[in-house]
Amino acid sequence: MAKRVLVSGGAGYIGSHVTVELIGAGYEVVVADNMSNCDMTCFEGVKKITGRDDIPFYQIDCCDYEAVTRLFDEQGIDAVIHFAAFKAVGESVAEPIMYYRNNLVSFLNILEAAKNHGGCNVLFSSSATVYGEAEDLPVTEQTPRLPATSPYGNTKQMCEDILRDVVLATAGFGGAGDSDAGVAAGGQGPVKGIALRYFNPIGAHPSALIGELPRGVPNNLVPFITQTAIGKRECLSIFGNDYPTEDGTCLRDYIDIVDLAKAHVAAVSRMIDGRMKEGYEIFNVGTGRPVSVHELVTAFEKVNGLKLNYKFAPRRPGDVVAIWADTSLANEELGWKAERSVEDTLASAWAWEKYLAGK
Ligand code: WQD
């Protein structure tokens, strides 16, 4: 029987792309989303791309433990991919209580339900933000994490640690279906965990039916570029051109959203098929190639044959100069590698913006 994966936050940007790839790989997917930061556009797109009108959808808040546990009771979950979280760095500085409550409580509920339903595999969506301004580049999974500079970043670090601790604490529990005395009372079982540390996810599905839908003025670079190109924004500000890099602008590792989604399928299969080397594992998910902000803007103009209205502006507080991934561990252990070129990814981001404009 096909294994069943719960995707919390599955109607959002990354969650919708992951749902598509999981279904393509033969998994059954259950989506949970409270729709606090998205509408049904992407979930409808997922149904069109996969030709599946019957994907179970729970409009629930993962901060509601009763709702989460009911979902587990009804669906019989083999693995969870947890995306349900707030993600705006600036907002988290202004609203720390809201961020800590939402991002921590929802994850704790998922872990508790996973543990209480005979054990489960849990994939946590972490971020390269945990590395901060790293001294040695590219960063490997062994690169020390630096103190978080925002509540958002702190919730990523804390959730990684919570997952590690829960894996450790439940390691002795027998799994679901185990008949020996190792099965803990109440159907509890071991939680196994993988944290994927994403670099900068960009782009959209090649169908242009799903993509990023930022609310209000985008914080992230690529949605700001596409909205400027379509005329929704007047001018893109490139934050800082006096950094100690070749062209003076920041360096990032932009990872295509479909490539990123495929890394999730590889990680979930590794957990479900029992190929993990340890109960808790961490993988960088990036391309391994640094690209500057100015290079990205120029590549966008070139591949899409247009001129972008942009100007150089002062540095944005909190930005690191440069960060990119050493991806050898994911390449070797997950058998996964980023494949799509940055040009194709930028073309897909533009196709998605045009699709939205025509809706
Ligand atoms: C990229 C580069 C900006 C907007 C953040 C989070 C991280 C992760 C991804 C999210 C920087 C420059 C941007 C603009 C610009 N997780 N820029 N003009 O800051 O690398 O990472 O998003 O959920 O945790 O911190 O991404 O896209 O905001 O910026 O010049 O209008 O583009 O200064 O150098 P960032 P970003």
| Mean pLDDT value across the chain | 95
Average pLDDT over residues 214-226: 95
Q: How far apart are CA 117 and CA 191, in angstroms?
A: 10
> What is the pTM assigned to this prediction?
0.96
> Is it the case that residue 115 has pLDDT exceeding 60?
yes
Q: Which atom of ligand 1 is nearest to the CA of 218?
A: 31
pLDDT of residue 182: 42
Our mutation pick for probing the ligand 1 site, out of 82, 86, 220, 234, counting the most ligand atoms within 8 A of Cβ, is: 220
Average pLDDT over residues 13-17: 98
Q: Does domain 4-202+254-285 have CATH number 3.40.47.10?
A: no
> Is it the case that residue 86 has pLDDT exceeding 90?
yes
pLDDT of residue 181: 39
Domain boundaries for CATH 3.90.25.10 within the chain: 221-253+288-358
pLDDT of residue 155: 98
Q: Does domain 221-253+288-358 have CATH number 3.90.25.10?
A: yes
pLDDT of residue 349: 98
Q: Could you tell me what percent of the chain has a pLDDT over 90?
A: 94
pLDDT of residue 215: 87
pLDDT of residue 124: 98
Find out whether the beta carbon of 67 lies less than 6 Å from any atom of ligand 1. no
pLDDT of residue 185: 53
Pick the range with the lowest mean pLDDT from 44-48, 132-136, 176-180, 322-326: 176-180
Our mutation pick for probing the ligand 1 site, out of 14, 91, 99, 129, counting the most ligand atoms within 8 A of Cβ, is: 129
Q: Is 198 an annotated catalytic residue?
A: no
pLDDT of residue 179: 47
Q: Whose CA is nearest to atom 28 of ligand 1?
A: 220
pLDDT tens-digit readout, 143-170: 999 999 999 999 999 999 999 999 999 9
pLDDT tens-digit readout, 169-207: 999 887 655 544 344 556 899 999 999 999 999 999 999
> Is it the case that residue 296 has pLDDT exceeding 90?
yes
> Is it the case that residue 228 has pLDDT exceeding 60?
yes
Q: How far apart are CA 15 and CA 201, in angstroms?
A: 12
Q: Are strands 200-202 and 236-239 parallel, antiparallel or unpaired?
A: unpaired
The rounded Å distance from CA 200 to ligand 1 centre is: 8
The rounded Å distance from CA 325 to ligand 1 centre is: 16
Q: Which atom of ligand 1 is nearest to the CA of 249?
A: 34
Q: Could you tell me what percent of the chain has a pLDDT over 70?
A: 97
pLDDT of residue 175: 62
pLDDT tens-digit readout, 314-348: 999 989 999 999 999 999 999 999 999 999 999 99
Average pLDDT over residues 241-247: 98
Pick the range with the lowest mean pLDDT from 6-15, 210-219, 239-248, 260-269: 210-219
